[in-house]
Chains A and B, each alone.
Chain A
Amino acid sequence: MKNVQADSSAKKGKSLTRRRALRRFIHNPLSVTGLLIVIVLMCVAILAPVISPHDPAAQHLFDKRSKPFGKYVLGADQFGRDILSRLIYGARVSLFVAIVSVLIALSGGIIVGTLCGYIRGVVDAVLMRFMDLLLSFPYLLLAIVMVAALGTGTMNTTLAIGIWALPTFARMVRAAVLTITKREYITASQAIGTPSYMIILSHIIPNFVSPVIVYATLFMANAIMIEAALSFLGLGVQPPTPSWGEMISSGRNYLMTSPHVATTPGLAIMLAVLGFNLLGDGLRDALDPKMKVA
């Protein structure tokens, strides 16, 4: 009887903290703005074929580099393709790369981090040294090396960004696992003979979910930025696939006469990065005000 009571009060406590977190989130206008931007972007990406006014690949040769607010809302590019439609389809590419690379980094990071933190010993030392090594590449350089090896294209870019981010997740998860395994309830659980994988699944993983969610959200912003950067350099998503970074790169030759071709995709990148950054900051403040994510 006593047990049941304790259990239900624990559940109540949990739902209370959850409700508090939700309240903190909703009362912060910046986080709600971020959430709205992200939702709108997702909808745009999913509904791209329905909402885009033109075929993003169709070349209207008479309308080459036509000005915005004419026949096309945001004008046309150097091949006479509708910029708005290309931006809409570009959202698909950007979000795809960001989401899949986050999933790669997340699953890899959780596996490596949990293994290292729980098993310790040689596995931990070797794997973490390797992660440190990956982390000591300057920004963008590891992704560039990966692309140099894998080749360009959407899938390779995604993989490169995922591998680039994996060590950070692994480190974070490992640190969380280390602090959790020191707690008494883990020792108690081990003492009554619970198998390791059960302890990992039911006690350890749920405990680092919130910092990982926060970091994953903030990382989405990074992934979008890096995808754009790689595509801008010609090392990422390749034409004719519409990608924001590639659009800026190909439009820069017409900067003098038609600045809108190169500059509008930058606004899209900025909006997407802003959305994920605000959402991530909001989630952090709501889930754990004391937590620090660089």
Chain B
Amino acid sequence: MIVYLIKRILASVGVVLAMAFLVMLILDLVPGDPVVIMLGENATEDMVRELRRQLGLDQPLLVRYVQYIWKVVQGDIGRSVREMAPVSKLIGDAFPNTLLLTACGMFLTLLIGLPLGLISGAKSGSWLDHSSRITSLAGLCMPVFWIGLVLMFIFSLKLGWFPVGGTGSWLHLILPSVTLASYSVASLARMTRSSLLEVMGEDYIRTARAKGLAYRAVVVRHAFGNALIPIVTVFGMQVGHLMGGAILTETVFAWPGMGRLMVGAILDRDYPLLQGTILVFASCYIFINLLVDLSYGLIDPQVSGK
């Protein structure tokens, strides 16, 4: 198990390193000189040369990559061109906000999506099942940012229950988390339902029912545990969705997080900042997926035996 753990952690670090290289490579393919674009049309030759030297863009790609990784290891991920501040500080300010938002989204996903799917699967064909399926289908088809705007219109502008945007109190957190969780709730509920339904068709479920066990006990004790692996997989995938959704939700609710930082960095062509935000986002995602993979071993003893 420990060997497996170390292997998986090393592999994840490898993926993060490869990703950082790929992002650098992609950004290197930008048509036109990024330095000229950053400085604007009126920049003098000297200014361009100076900024290029500051950003290290006069070096070949591989050298820059090794330098970048070396600096990252030392905790320095460059300076933002636009904000004139270290990228690590900007990210340090924004990251807790995104983490809070994503964590609330995850919490809501589990709190609503899981029971919804379980009830739907256990009572398939009932009106509860139908209404939960229709709701989740609708949830999958509505764009996150649109849900955010509609919620904002109803609950902030018309009813005045919640603030329109920004951070401060826990009231600020509610609408963005609900918005962010909407897609994942729907997705998790659907997966839980179908996974549970599949397990409910197995022989051992029929045996459990035949020996007179109550339906509820069969669902909770026999079916749910066995339906858990695909559910956890989908939940892990939802984490990626939540992060992408956070970019959109933050834009809607003016939430000062990583997503807004990233979008701003693209629009301003602030490459050091963009690279930093992408690196942090991607590492988090890979780390969470690592946790999901490791959790299989806890759920299913067959997996850890491999």
Identify the A interface with B (CB < 8 A): 133-134, 136-141, 144-151, 221, 225, 228-229, 232-235, 245, 248, 252, 255-256, 259, 262-263, 265-266, 269-270, 273-274, 277, 294
Contact = CB atoms under 8 A, between A and B. Distances in A.
A255 B141 CA distance: 22
5 contacts: A141-B243, A141-B285, A148-B26, A232-B145, A266-B149
B78 to A, nearest CB: 16
A148 B251 CA distance: 17
B248 A149 contact: no
A68 B134 CA distance: 28
Interface string B214-243: 000000000000000000001001011101
A266 B142 contact: yes
B114 interface: no
A291 to B, nearest CB: 13
A274 B285 CA distance: 28
A17 B140 CA distance: 31
A29 to B, nearest CB: 13
Contacts of B239: 138
Contacts of B237: 294
Say which size band chain B's interface belongs to: 35 or more
Given A229-B248, A233-B251, A274-B141, A248 B149 contact: yes
B22 to A, nearest CB: 6
A252 B146 CA distance: 10
A277 to B, nearest CB: 6
A146 B22 CA distance: 11
A151 B31 CA distance: 9
Contact of A228 (B137, B143, B282): B143
Nearest to A271: B141
Interface string B133-157: 0000110111111100110110001
B197 to A, nearest CB: 13
A256 B266 contact: no
Contact of A270 (B141, B247, B252): B141
